[in-house]
Homo-oligomer: A and B are copies of this chain.
Amino acid sequence: MASITAIDPSTNAFDGDCTGRIVLDQLTSRWGFLILVALRDGEHRFFELRNRIHGVSEKMLSQTLRGLTGSGLVERHVIPTVPPAVSYTLTDLGRSAAEPLAGVFDWLSDHAAEIAEHQQ
């Protein structure tokens, strides 16, 4: 693993001006994070993502999906049914991002109860 201080400053998320910071916000936005983790299972239609990720509005979901697509992490597919359906998959880049995010998700699942105790 690269040491933090050895990282090229242009891609160091500690630096406020870099691409790293923009991408950090995308990966770690609540919805971006949950979408990328959900898509690890494979293709999802828009409404499947909406149902799976409780509390996300259709507006936030489509806005976040647009951002993730624009960053090359997610691919949008139009299925030529009547009416046409839209589905989403991870790109190779998105899959490589989803791996470490899933590590965070798993940590969360294992430790949420412990943290809830601390908070009380």
Please list the residues of chain A having a beta carbon within 8 angstroms of any beta carbon in chain B.
Answer: 1-2, 4, 7-8, 10-25, 27-30, 33-34, 37-38, 40-41, 52-55, 70-73, 93, 96-97, 99-119
Contacts and interface: CB of A to CB of B under 8 A. Distances in A.
A4 B115 contact: no
B13 A105 contact: yes
A104 B107 contact: no
User: Chain copies in the assembly?
Assistant: 2
A103 B93 CA distance: 15
A34 B25 CA distance: 11
A19 B112 CA distance: 6
A14 B17 CA distance: 31
A117 to B, nearest CB: 8
